Structure 1
Amino acid sequence: MSGGPKILITGASGFTGLHACRYFASAGYNVIAVTRRDISIDGVKVEQCDLNIKESVLNLIKRVKPQFLLHLAGQNHVGQSWSDPTGTLETNLLSTVFILDALHKECPESKSVIIGSALQIDPSNISAIPHPYSLSKTFQVLAARAWAELYGLSIVIAQPTNLIGPGKSNGVCSVFANRIAEMENHNAEQILEVNNLYAQRDFLDVRDAVRAYEILFRKGISKEIYPISSGKSQSLGEVAKIYKNMTPINFKIKSFEKSNREDKVRISSEKMNQLGWEPIFSFRTSLEESLNYFRRCPS
Structure 2
Amino acid sequence: MDLSSKLAERTVFVTGADGFVGSHLVDTLVEYDANVHVFVRATSSGELNNIRHHSENVTVHRGDLRDKHSVERALSALEGHSDSLIFHLAAQAHVGESWERPYETVDSNVVGTLNLLQSVVDLDLDIAKFDTAGTSEEYGNVRDEVRDHHDFVDDGRVLLSERSPVNPTSIYATSKLAADFLTMNYYDAYDVPTVTTRMFNNYGPRQNPRYITGTIISQALKRDHVELGNLTPKRDMCYVEDGVRGHLHVALGGNPGEQYVYGYGENISMQEWTDTILRVGTEEGYWGDPEIVQDEDRYRPGDSDVEELLVGHEKLTKETGWEPEVGWEEGIRRTIEWYAEHEHRWIGRVDWR
Asked if residue 52 in structure 1 is aligned to residue 92 in structure 2, the reply is no
Quote how far apart the aligned CAs of 1:253 are: 1.2
**Contact 2:136–2:309 (8 Å) recurs in 1:** no
- Which letter does structure 1 place at the counterpart of 2:10? P
- Asked if the contact 1:31–1:44 (Cα under 8 Å) also holds between the matched residues in 2, the reply is yes
Q: Provide Cα deviations, 1:143-174, integer angstroms capped at 9, x if missing partner.
A: 00001110010001010011011113242112
CA distance in 2: counterparts of 1:279 and 1:266, whole angstroms: 14
1:112 is aligned to 130
Tell me if structure 1 keeps the 8 A contact 2:261–2:316: yes
Aligned twin of 1:4: 9
Partners of 1:243 and 1:225 in 2: how far apart? 32
Deviation at 1:290, TM superposition (A): 1.0
CA distance in 1, matches of 2:307, 2:203: 21
Q: Take 2:103 and 2:178, find their aligned partners in 1: how far apart are those partners?
A: 13
Q: 1:277 aligns with which of 313, 322, 342?
A: 322
Aligned residue in 2 for 1:236: 270
Cα offsets for 1:174-217 (capped at 9, x unmatched): 221111222xxxxx3x1112223322111001110111111112
- Aligned AA (2:213): C
Matched residue type, 1:273? T
CA contact (8 A) 1:20 1:210 kept: yes
Matched, 1:75 2:92: yes
Q: More displaced, 36-45 or 153-162?
A: 36-45
- Look up the match of 2:174: 135
Q: Is the 8 A contact 1:208 1:280 kept in 2?
A: yes
Shift of 1:249: 1.2
Stretch of structure 1 that moved more, 284-293 or 42-51: 42-51
Structure 2: gaps spanning 5 or more residues: 1-6, 147-165, 297-305, 348-353
Contact 1:121 1:135 in 2 (8 A): no
Aligned residues: 287
Identity, % of aligned pairs?
A: 23
Q: What is the CA–CA distance in structure 2 between the aligned matches of 1:280 and 1:114, rounded to whole Å?
A: 23
Q: How do 1:1-299 residues align onto structure 2 when only pairs under 5 Å count?
A: 4-36=9-41, 37=43, 38-40=46-48, 41=52, 42=54, 43-65=57-79, 67-110=84-127, 111-121=129-139, 128-169=167-208, 170-182=210-222, 188=223, 190-245=224-279, 246-247=281-282, 248-256=287-295, 265-274=309-318, 275-298=320-343, 299=347
Give, in whole Å, the separation in 1 of the partners of 2:118 and 2:21.
24
Aligned equivalents of 1:280 and 1:128: distance in 2?
30
2:218 is aligned with what amino acid? N
| Maintained 8 Å contact 2:130/2:251 | yes
Q: Let me know the Cα RMSD of the aligned residues.
A: 2.3
Between 53-62 and 246-255, the greater mean CA deviation after superposition? 246-255
Distance (Å, rounded) in 1 between the aligned partners of 2:109 and 2:217: 28
| Distance in 2 between residues matched to 1:84 and 1:256, nearest whole Å | 22
C-alpha distance in structure 2 between counterparts of 1:232 and 1:291, whole Å: 21
Deviations, residues 72-126 of structure 1 (Å, cap 9, x unaligned):
001011122112222211100111111111111224321211101111259x99x
Is the alpha carbon distance of 1:28 and 1:249 closer, same or farther for their aligned partners in structure 2, counting shifts above 3 Å?
Answer: same
Determine helix, strand or coil for the equivalent of 1:143: helix
Contact 1:162 1:171 in 2 (8 A): no
Assess, with a 3 A threshold, how the Cα gap between structure 1 residues 83 and 244 changes in structure 2: closer, same or farther: closer
1:64: Cα distance to partner? 3.9
| TM-score, L = length of structure 2 | 0.76
Aligned counterparts of 1:230 and 1:10: Cα–Cα separation in 2: 24
Distance 2:278 2:270 in 1: 12
Pair 1:14–1:279, CA change in 2 (3 A): same
Are the equivalent residues in 1 in contact too, given 2:20–2:207 (CA < 8 A)? Answer: yes
TM-score (normalizing by structure 1): 0.89
SS in structure 1 at match of 2:255: coil
1:123-150 deviations in Å (ceiling 9; x for gaps): x99x944111111011100100001110
Q: Which amino acid aligns with 1:12?
A: A
CA drift at 1:230: 0.6
CA distance in 1, matches of 2:323, 2:230: 30
Cα distance in 2 for residues equivalent to 1:86 and 1:47:
25
